[in-house]
Chain A
Amino acid sequence: MKKHTVHLVLLCCLTCTFWALPAASQDLKSASWDAIVQAAKGQTVDWYMWGGMPAINTYVNGYVAEHLKKEYDITLRQVPVKDIAEIVSKLVVEKQAGKHENGNVDLMWINGENFRTCKRHNLLFGPFADKLPNQQYVDWSKPSVYNDFGTPVEGMESPWGSAQVVMIYDTARTPTPPHTMDQFVEWITHNPGRFTYPAPPDFTGSVFVRHLFYHNSADTSLWQGDYSQAQLKQTAQATFEQLKALKPYLWRKGSTYPDSPVRLNTLFADGEIDFSFSYHQAEASRNILDGLFPPTVRSFVFEEGTIANTHFLAIPFNAADKAAAMVAANFLLSAEAQLEKAKPDVWGDFPAIDIARLPAEQQKLFDQLQRGPATLTNQELQTHQLPEPPSEILIQLEKGWEQQVLKGR
């Protein structure tokens, strides 16, 4: 008899929780920030993220976890995954199976194609980004922030960091590097065999092809809005023609390509080629510190800009601890957390916030960061950013490159 009562009570409690939850998630959208912080107390955030870099894991499990516990009484549990796409497909299945509550995933680190999939299938909770107080430091007018690979963010994810392409050269070998893509293409034809790029779909090689695609576009902002398939086809074709024309001037006459940015850097360090490039702003400095590059190496961005993207945090539709996830996302966007993350010996990831919007003394802290000898200033980088085109274009360029440039069909 007693046992039955216990069961009944338990059942009641469970039902109440399930009833209460949908209401709570509705409330979060209208609740005040203080109420959200209150609701987050004692919750555990399960943060699913790519866990392939020890520096990032240390930052997350050390600095971030400690501060969340101390300041907000939130427990952070990092769940490292190899590819966040696995989690996205898991969410698709959960959505189909009708699991709308109590999901395992509270916070995800995503961008690009994965975000597009999430948004298209309504897998995200939100919009929540505009609720976060630290949002005031984000420059939402920048196309590389308000669009995530061409998909409008619309508050469905909160920025965490940024990456930008930089060109890398050795001042001892190339005292005056080209300043624009136009000059760079000219340089390649005048210096046969001294440049190459990793074969797409490698991420770094693929972004070089996108730079040439932009070079062949009359107006790069066209790709952020409504473009026609005919326009895309025409510009893509012009890009492939140019790449084919450049092929004989590449390293080994374009008969083979390096398979990764690591190989590209090795070729550059060995003096086989004169330029390298990276989707990480501080790559050159890091390689100088590691002794891979000579100290005369520097980096630059083209006058018309280089491609940059923002990486984001999103909350799944069925997250169990949405309030705590929001508080965590807000903390990660704070000047302190962004500063810590930007330290070269911590991670060296570039801030998602606009430094100019911070109070003067915090700006000074960012300015005082050890930048490394070959890294450009935040100012120089942020004023030369081009947004990523939609992932549809990215895929078309990679496929076309393989067919036309690699296989010559």
Chain B
Amino acid sequence: MLAASNGAGAGKAESPGYLLMLLTPALLVIMILFGGGLLLGLLQALGYQFSGQDVTFTLVHFSNVVNDPDLMSSLGLTGYIATTSTLAAVLVSIPLALLLNRLAQESKMINFILQIPLTVPHLVTAIAILLLLAPSGLISRCLLQLGFISSAHDFPLLIHDQYGVGLLLTYIWKEIPFITFMLLAVLKNTGTELHEVGKTLGASKTQRFLHITLPLIAPSVGAAALIVFAFTFGAFEVPYLLGETYPMALPVWAYKNYADVDLFARPEGIAIGLLIALIVIAAIFLAQGLAQLMNRNGAPR
């Protein structure tokens, strides 16, 4: 960070004003489109009426959501989906990245294969999983033909099921390449010098992994995991397609309220959406705080 700013900024006056000017176009877009939408949403969730004569605000929609017994079950389900899929993806990605780091240096093919899942939309993956794993899906039919099961009813429930197996598989399949890619970028740039030093000083393979590789990739793992967590926590389409009818993931619940025939359910849908944003933002701050704490406690950097 320090080295980069020293190098790039040589000879140019980087006053805060100049930076601000450069960032203005991008900031404007974000402020107006994102901030504006958020503000409009907040106004609606607070019961502000555009067509009314006098302006009134109410917290009743938020309190309705908070006091709804569904909040806990939805929050639990969403948290379970986001945490499990993030953890699983991270646990697979680290060894995969280390393995690929060796192979990727020789073959461009691996990089290419790794990029394929990145280009497939979540929606398409979810449908593919549905076609594969449904009781009347491709795998079930193959097993039926081969005589392993006697009817579609013998096939285990993997879609619309209690544990969200199909849902988790979709996310894990999508996120492993993403995290692996981020880690590969870091690993490629670290070189082999540190490992050679470690080897000369007699560190074992495990020791080298724990004290050299892991600290090197830890910030990237954390950042990638955070992105994946925030995305899966707020994503709508996969739980909508593959989840149980009830309990619903938070984004599905928000959508149900927003699309209700009863127009008064709409502010509650927006309130849930804002709640999702709040939780994700809180998670980001928490992660940042944790990372700083680790640095201060003398993690090897």
Contacts and interface: CB of A to CB of B under 8 A. Distances in A.
B157 A252 contact: yes
Nearest to B135: A272
B261 A398 contact: yes
Interface in B242-301: 244-246, 256, 260-262
A193 interface: yes
Interface residues of A, number: 23
Given A199-B245, A267-B136, A407-B246, A272 B152 contact: yes
A359 to B, nearest CB: 41
B51 interface: yes
A369 interface: no
Contacts of A257: 245
Interface centre among B70, B152, B160, B260 (most CB of A within 10 A): B160
B48 interface: no
B262 A92 contact: no
Contacts of A255: 162, 244
A50 to B, nearest CB: 15
Given A259-B245, A267-B136, A271-B136, A201 B260 contact: yes
A96 B51 contact: yes
A365 interface: no
Contacts of B160: 252, 256
Contacts of A270: 136, 152
A259 B237 CA distance: 13
Given A193-B153, A257-B245, A407-B246, A272 B136 contact: yes
A257 B243 CA distance: 10
A406 B246 contact: yes
Interface string B49-69: 001000000000000000000
Contacts of A96: 51
Contacts of A394: 261
Interface string A374-408: 00000000000000000100110010000000110
Interface of B is mostly: loop
B240 interface: yes
B171 to A, nearest CB: 19
A394 B136 CA distance: 33
A398 B260 CA distance: 10
A113 interface: yes
A93 B51 CA distance: 7
A202 to B, nearest CB: 10
Interface string B142-176: 00000000001100010011100000000000000
Given A193-B153, A256-B160, A395 B261 contact: yes
Interface in A228-262: 252, 255-257, 259
A113 B262 CA distance: 10
B262 A395 contact: yes
Contacts of A259: 240-241, 245
How many B residues touch the partner, as a band?
10 to 19
Contacts of A271: 136, 152
Contact of A113 (B70, B152, B161, B261): B261
A325 B41 CA distance: 37
A193 B245 CA distance: 17
Contacts of A252: 157, 160
Contacts of B51: 92-93, 96
Contacts, number: 39
A196 to B, nearest CB: 11
Nearest to A96: B51
Nearest to A267: B136
A267 B134 CA distance: 10
A407 B152 CA distance: 27
A406 B253 CA distance: 14
Nearest to A92: B51
B77 to A, nearest CB: 13
A256 B245 contact: yes
Contacts of A398: 261
A266 B241 CA distance: 14
Contacts of A266: 136
A255 B157 CA distance: 11
A376 to B, nearest CB: 28
Contacts of B245: 199, 256-257, 259, 406
A96 B160 CA distance: 46
A398 B256 CA distance: 12
Interface in B216-260: 240-241, 244-246, 256, 260
A395 B265 CA distance: 12
A272 B157 CA distance: 13
Nearest to B260: A201
A297 B100 CA distance: 53
Interface in A250-287: 252, 255-257, 259, 266-267, 270-272
A201 B261 contact: yes
A394 B262 CA distance: 11
A272 B261 CA distance: 31
Contacts of B240: 259
A301 B246 CA distance: 31
A256 B136 contact: no
Contacts of A199: 245
Nearest to B262: A395
A142 to B, nearest CB: 25
A295 B23 CA distance: 63
Contacts of B136: 266-267, 270-272
B253 to A, nearest CB: 11
Contacts of B261: 113, 201, 391, 394-395, 398
B262 to A, nearest CB: 6
Interface centre among B152, B160, B245, B260 (most CB of A within 10 A): B245
A57 to B, nearest CB: 23
The 8 closest A-B pairs by CB, nearest first: A270-B136, A256-B160, A257-B245, A199-B245, A256-B244, A256-B245, A406-B246, A93-B51
14 contacts: A93-B51, A199-B245, A201-B261, A252-B160, A256-B160, A259-B240, A270-B152, A271-B136, A272-B136, A272-B152, A394-B261, A395-B262, A398-B261, A406-B246
Interface of B: 51, 70, 135-136, 152-153, 157, 160-162, 240-241, 244-246, 256, 260-262
Given A201-B261, A256-B245, 19 more contacts: A93-B51, A96-B51, A199-B245, A252-B157, A256-B160, A256-B161, A256-B244, A257-B245, A259-B240, A259-B241, A259-B245, A266-B136, A271-B152, A272-B135, A391-B261, A406-B245, A406-B246, A407-B70, A407-B246
